[in-house]
Amino acid sequence: MNEVIEEKISTEYKYGFATDIDSDSAPKGLNEDIIRFISAKKNEPEWMLTYRLKAYRHWLTMEEPDWAHVSYQKPDFQDIIYYSAPKPKKVLNSLDEVDPELLKTFEKLGISILEQERLTGVESRVAMDIVVDSVSVKTTFTKTLAEKGIIFCSFGEAIQEHPELVKKYLSSVVPSNDNFFAALNSAVFTDGSFCYIPKGVRCPMELSTYFRIEAAGTGQFERTLIIAEEDSYVSYLEGCTAPMRDENQLHAAVVELVAHKNAQIKYSTVQNWYPGDKDGKGGVFNFVTKRGICLEENAKISWTQVETGSAITWKYPSVILKGDNSVGEFYSVAVTNNHQQADTGTKMLHIGNNTKSTIISKGISAGFSNNSYRGLVRIAKRAENARNFSQCDSLLMGDQCGAHTFPYIEIKNNTAVVEHEATTSKIGEDQLFYCKQRGIDNEKAIGLIVNGYCKDVLSQLPMEFAVEAQKLLEVSLEGSVG
């Protein structure tokens, strides 16, 4: 079995290629001047600079957290370039004006924006905001959306065009001093996505952002803010790939979701950033803060994530259930192989009455990897009749990997009903043999078994993503069981 695992480890990262686009970069390192440089580059108003500097000064007083079940060489924050934008900075009116190198990159990733745009006229329900090295290159579909009053643009644009909304909601869910990485992000974020769904509007298409870390040695600090007004609905897709690099790349994004009365936000992620080579060299450090708030009654926020990439994943998409009858959901598949380490889970904070949360977490570990689920369910004293159901399953492939579960439950109101189920299993020789005896070979059998195991989560993904995610699972685990 181990031989096959080792064989798999030699499988190279499929998306490892680098595109030659000139970057307009800041010098390495971080200080107040760099932050001023970024803010000036982005032509930001004074209040944004103030916000950044405040976050930065706070960050200086903070320690990098070490409570997660991961071990890594802490990044040298003075050895990172905090700003780099693709060169052709002129305003783009059509995709024809986009750097052809860039378009080629997207093609390699299998994202054809040309295809996307061609399809728009007909039936496509996906709008994409493409972010390369922190600057949105082109936002498609904006027009269609604008007709409904939906704002979907880069964060930089939102600061310019909709300062009142940004001012009102930025850091309303994740305070700029929330944690070490959130503070860093608040100080130096360069771009990201902004989305606003007005009252009573059901967003007619899936909104989608493809993040991509491009320039060597560049950290990526994305900022995403989604606001769903009363009675509105939006489904947002985030997909990520990064080219192969030798040095570790830091990624510290912040995502904030705000759902008003009766509003629903569905946020789906498929993440397959470079996990490092077979010896655990290289790979992306993914330290993300994702949090949503159900601000008023009957609001609903669902996080669905399929995580197969990154050397280190530190990520806990959470929901604050403030409004009465509000609902939070977390569906997660996390796959680790080789030397990958993932510490991921969620926090469900019940504050309102009759609030409900569901957590379904499926961890898959292979190779020498470590996969941890860490989750908190907190029922506040005033939260009457809160309910939570958690199910955390771990699947082990081979005998060199680890699976860990750290569930934290804090209940301060005795009307709460909290259920927690956890299982750990191994892909059994029996299951594999059963498949083989029916004519299905090892690789196909593993794909079948793993996809079956993850079904409850994959079924939450929009169609466009579900197929991609299924393939990704199979590729990520190729040859991991003998």
Partner 1 sequence: MLSIKNLHTSIDGKEILRGINLEIKEGEVHAIMGPNGSGKSTLAAVLAGRSEHEVTEGEVIYNGKNLLDLEAEDRAREGVFLAFQYPIEIPGVSNVNFLKTAINEIRAYKGLEPMKAKDFLMMLKEKQNLVELDVKLANRSVNEGFSGGEKKRNEIFQMAMLDPKLSILDETDSGLDIDALRIVANGVNKLKSKEKATIIITHYQRLLDYIIPDFVHILHKGKIVKSGAKELALELEEKGYDFIKEEVEA
- Binding residues for partner 1, rule: CB under 8 A, are 428-431, 433-442, 444, 448-449, 451-456
* Least distance between partner 1 and beta carbon 145 (Å): 36
Report the relative pairing of strands 151-154 and 191-197 from DSSP bridges: antiparallel
* Least distance between partner 1 and beta carbon 418 (Å): 24
Cβ nearer to partner 1, comparing 100 with 439:
439
Burial of 400 (0-12, 13-18, 19+ CB in 10 A): middle
Cβ nearer to partner 1, comparing 413 with 442:
442
Retrieve residue 256's tokens.
Answer: 């904030």
* Least distance between partner 1 and beta carbon 394 (Å): 14
Cβ nearer to partner 1, comparing 228 with 458:
458
* Least distance between partner 1 and beta carbon 360 (Å): 12
Cβ nearer to partner 1, comparing 53 with 448:
448
Distances (CA, A) of 87 to 99, 166, 216: 9, 27, 15
Cβ nearer to partner 1, comparing 376 with 440:
440
DSSP β-bridge partners for residue 297: none
Q: Which residues contact 380 (CB under 8 A, 6 or more apart)?
A: 349, 350, 351, 412, 413
Question: How far apart are the C-alpha atoms of 15 and 471, rounded to whole Å?
Answer: 14
Cβ nearer to partner 1, comparing 59 with 453:
453
User: Residue 187: what residue type?
Assistant: A
Question: How far apart are the C-alpha atoms of 297 and 66, rounded to whole Å?
Answer: 36
* Least distance between partner 1 and beta carbon 396 (Å): 15
Which DSSP letter does residue 97 get?
Answer: G
Cβ nearer to partner 1, comparing 222 with 393:
393
Which DSSP letter does residue 287 get?
Answer: E
Q: Give the three-class secondary structure for 264.
A: strand
Residue identified by tokens 């010896």 is 279
Question: How far apart are the C-alpha atoms of 109 and 315, rounded to whole Å?
Answer: 24
Q: 3-class secondary structure for 199-217?
A: CCCECCCEEEEEEECCCCC
Cβ nearer to partner 1, comparing 27 with 452:
452
* Least distance between partner 1 and beta carbon 14 (Å): 24
Burial of 147 (0-12, 13-18, 19+ CB in 10 A): exposed
* Least distance between partner 1 and beta carbon 11 (Å): 21
Cβ nearer to partner 1, comparing 32 with 456:
456
The number of beta carbons lying within 10 Å of the beta carbon of residue 478 is 15
Cβ nearer to partner 1, comparing 299 with 397:
397
Which DSSP letter does residue 95 get?
Answer: G
Question: How far apart are the C-alpha atoms of 128 and 317, rounded to whole Å?
Answer: 22
Cβ nearer to partner 1, comparing 50 with 459:
459
* Least distance between partner 1 and beta carbon 336 (Å): 20
DSSP assignments along 19-84, one per residue: ----EEEPPBS-SHHHHHHHHHHTT--HHHHHHHHHHHHHHHT------SS---PPP-GGGSB--E
* Least distance between partner 1 and beta carbon 437 (Å): 5
* Least distance between partner 1 and beta carbon 88 (Å): 46
Q: Is 380 left (phi over 0), alpha (psi -120 to 50) or beta?
A: beta
* Least distance between partner 1 and beta carbon 200 (Å): 38
